[in-house]
Amino acid sequence: MLYHSKNPHGGDIYGKQVFLDYSANTNPYGTPIGVLEAVRESLCDMHCYPDPYCRKLVAAIAESEGVPSEYILCGNGAAELIYSYCESVSPKQAVELAPTFSEYARGLWRADCTVSRYVLKKDNAFRLDREFLTFLEEVRPASVFLCNPNNPTGRVIDHSLLTDVLSLSAALDFRLFIDECFLDLSVGGESMSSYLYDNPRLFILKAFTKNYGMAGLRLGYCMTADQELLLKMSKTVPPWNVSLPAQAAGIAALKERDFLSYAKNTIAQEKHWLTDALTQLGFWVCPSDANFLLFQAPAGLHEKLLEEGVLIRNCDNYYGLGPGWYRIAVRRHEENMQLFSAIERILHEG
């Protein structure tokens, strides 16, 4: 729970009246019915402790991902696993992109780690280029954090570049942390899970939050061949950190491939519409491969929209951005039209 500190993320629909939430990048179709039914059925067993080993859930993830169950550790959301990883690895020097998801730096700060940032440029449409390899050779970090696709830019990292970074991790002896939480709702990205077997330095983070609209349940998992690391991580959290309803929901969600495929196709169409609409308003929109868009507009737009009950992600707290930068989720067409009308009305009123 946050206590007397500013919320650094989106999704806070509780402080003010919000009828359109564009600040959280979750599936626009919400939670699959099959998942909701599984949660309801699990309520009958609420008097029981959850399985501390997440046996059935781990088996389902292993089958879905095509990796051994020994490579998998589940957690109370992706954020818990980030913190657990940082505490267990405890690197002295780490590299991350800028801008990128803020919880990496928070987890590293808790581990008393120095963070070096490779700043992405608007002139390059926030694309990660091959100069990053030279940067790593110069910094020689103990750990590297990459988000694929990156949040908040939505850019997928070129797969050949990722494999080169992985090869460099062996040559320079650093750990490679790749966050793939948005990958299944993105276009053009490819998971690095097939590289786990021969690369114990590789660590992949995933979650059910975005894909299956399960942000309220808190369920994530990670994969690595480094079982000693997973053992250390498991000792940093309580044994019942994954609730019984969350485990049931995860098992059910992995069966919802058609739901995921439909959402992904719809998001791709709506993303083009939103990009064109925002561009017509005179905003600069970052090319996105993910289910969200980063754009630059007049400062204070988020405050005006909130007055109308529309919540967007103000990105001025991202390292490398500032006032006037915003991120929005890609939602259903009728909602996207409401967002466009609200912004257009605000601009017209000056």
pLDDT for res 39:
98
Question: What confidence tens digit (pLDDT) does each residue in 33-75 have?
Answer: 999 999 999 999 999 999 999 999 999 999 999 999 999 999 9
Structure tokens given for 242: 């994954």
pLDDT at 224 over 80: yes
* Beta carbons of 270 and 330 less than 8 angstroms apart: yes
pLDDT for res 15:
82
Q: What is the DSSP letter of 162?
A: H
pLDDT tier at 14 (50, 70, 90 boundaries)?
confident
Structure tokens given for 42: 């699990």
* Beta carbons of 177 and 145 less than 8 angstroms apart: yes
Structure tokens given for 81: 């696993």
Closest CA to 297 of 316, 311, 283: 283
Q: What is the DSSP letter of 105?
A: H
Structure tokens given for 133: 């390899």
Distance CA 94, CA 140 (A): 9
Cα 115–chain centre separation: 20
In this prediction the pTM is: 0.96
Distance CA 242, CA 42 (A): 13
pLDDT tier at 166 (50, 70, 90 boundaries)?
very high
Distance CA 324, CA 186 (A): 25
154 sits in the region (left: phi over 0; alpha: psi -120 to 50; else beta) called left
Three-state DSSP at 126 gives coil
Distance CA 236, CA 42 (A): 27
pLDDT tier at 322 (50, 70, 90 boundaries)?
very high
* Beta carbons of 148 and 157 less than 8 angstroms apart: yes
pLDDT for res 349:
87
Q: What is the DSSP letter of 69?
A: G
Structure tokens given for 340: 């466009």
pLDDT for res 11:
85
pLDDT for res 320:
93
Distance CA 182, CA 325 (A): 20
Phi, psi values for residue 297, rounded to 5°? -145, 180
Structure tokens given for 239: 């044994």
Distance CA 40, CA 34 (A): 10
* Average pLDDT value over all residues in the chain: 96
pLDDT tier at 96 (50, 70, 90 boundaries)?
very high
